Amino acid sequence: MALRHAGSVAISLPPDVSANIEEVFGTRGRRWLDDLPEVVRERCAAWDSVVTGAGFGGGTHSYVAPVRRADGSGAVLKVPVVDTENVGEPTGLFCYRGEGAVELYEFDPATGAMMLEWARPGVELVTQPGFPSLEGEPANIGKVEIACALYRRLRRAPADLPATFPALPSVAGIVAEWARTFPTPEPEVERVIPGVLLDRATQWCERLARPDGPLLVVNRDTHLGNIVAAEREPWLLIDPKAYLGEAAFDAGFLGMIQVQSQPTPEHAETVIRRTAAGLAVDPQRARGWAFMRAMEEIVWAIEDEEPEDLPLHLAVATALA
């Protein structure tokens, strides 16, 4: 998909990204696509920068492209479709202040646009093939340990924010949504998920509703494709889904996707023990978050009519239960 703004520089959005935005966001997504050229023009003018190349691929919700700043340095312009999961990205990056994550140079609250450090060469710590993820393969144990050390370093108390930044979404809100979903499931959910897993999910909702320790900046999307090789530091985090919650929340997605490679109770036990140690969190809390993330994936697969994914997510949840 090629777009041209009022200047002379053509901007482009990868076809898979534009198609995903239309499919997921419907009318709002089409309006966002229509508005994108003007948003890019306005942000480049406001931030004294010029788009220098095509939009990067690999994303789902954003236009991300290289730009040249007034001082001649390279950076990245990111214009997201803001949703409930990514609304905290600029706030998380502000709190990180470039310590283990890409630096946030500019933020526009009206559009959600950001000017970011360009992490080069940008090679992913582990390239994601989709499900099942590769983090649980034996060859990637060392890479998971690198990720754990980075996520532990990024975890911190929230900073005092400028008034223009959005508040971090709350992990408590996620747990509240789960508590509405699993104790009294919709018929299509109840038909797919065994009662023993629904009962376990209800128990975990009650336990996880009470945070274990202080509320910190944590991450909902802890896969290793969001950690890339850089020049300023060996590895930097990009695209954080920053939330406010307990430390063990970081183990949820990372634990769940590692179990996918071998969804057995034995492998799940090894993964949770190793990941909890790497993140310096309680292994039982880590298991609970990973189990609930697996249960969430089951519900999403049902809602999105993706039956081919259900056997894997059910096996992972069973292994973690």
DSSP assignment of 100-162: SB--EEEE-TTT--EEE---SS--BSS---SSSPSTTSGGGHHHHHHHHHHHHHH-BPPPPPP
Lowest mean pLDDT among 21-35, 136-150, 229-243, 247-261: 21-35
- Hey, where are the domains in the chain? 2-116, 138-320
pLDDT score of 20: 86
Model confidence at 287, pLDDT cuts 50, 70, 90, reads very high
**Distance between CA atoms of residues 297 and 277, nearest Å:** 25
pLDDT, tens digit (0-9, with 9 covering 90-100), for 195-240: 999 999 999 999 999 999 999 999 999 999 999 999 999 999 999 9
Please report the pLDDT score of residue 119 as a whole number. 96
Which of 209, 286, 291, 202 is closest to 249 using CA atoms?
Answer: 286
Q: How confident is the model at residue 6 (pLDDT cuts 50, 70, 90)?
A: very low
The better pLDDT of the pair 8, 119 is held by 119
53/76 Cα distance (integer angstroms): 10
Tokens of 2: 């090629």
Instruction: Read off the pLDDT of each residue in 277-304 and give the average, rounded to a whole number.
Output: 97
Handedness of CA 108, 113, 118, 124 (dihedral sign): positive
Contact 60, 22 (CB under 8 A): no
Q: What is the pLDDT of residue 10?
A: 66
Instruction: List pLDDT tens digits, range 141-194.
Output: 999 999 999 999 999 999 999 999 999 999 999 999 999 999 999 999 999 999
CA distance 98 to 107: 14
Tokens read off for 98: 């470039």
φ, ψ (nearest 5 deg) of residue 168:
-65, 135
Residue 159 backbone zone (phi > 0: left; psi -120 to 50: alpha; other: beta): beta
Distance of CA 123 to the CA centre of its chain: 17
Q: Do 217 and 168 form a contact (C-beta atoms < 8 A)? A: yes
Please state the CATH superfamily assignment of the domain spanning residues 138-320 in this structure: Aminoglycoside phosphotransferase (APH), C-terminal lobe (3.90.1200.10)
According to CATH, the topology of domain 2-116 is Phosphorylase Kinase; domain 1 (3.30.200)
Q: Give the H or E element holding residue 252.
A: helix 251-259
Instruction: Say how far apart CA 310 and CA 237 lie, in whole Å.
Output: 30
Residue of 65, 169, 49, 46 lying closest to 110 (CA atoms) = 46
* Residue 138 pLDDT exceeds 70: yes
Residue 4: predicted pLDDT: 44
Query: What mean pLDDT comes out for the span 249-267?
Result: 98
Q: What is the pLDDT confidence band of residue 17, given thresholds at 50, 70 and 90?
A: confident
**Calpha distance 195→191 (Å, rounded):** 9
Percentage of the residues of the chain whose pLDDT score is greater than 70: 97
Amino acid of residue 149: A
Residue-level pLDDT at 5: 47
What does the pLDDT read at residue 9? 54
Longest Cα–Cα distance of the chain, Å, equals 61
- Mean pLDDT in the chain? 94
Q: What is the pLDDT of residues 33-64, one digit of tens each?
A: 999 999 999 999 999 999 999 988 777 889 99
Non-local (6+) Cβ contacts of 97 within 8 A are: 103, 159
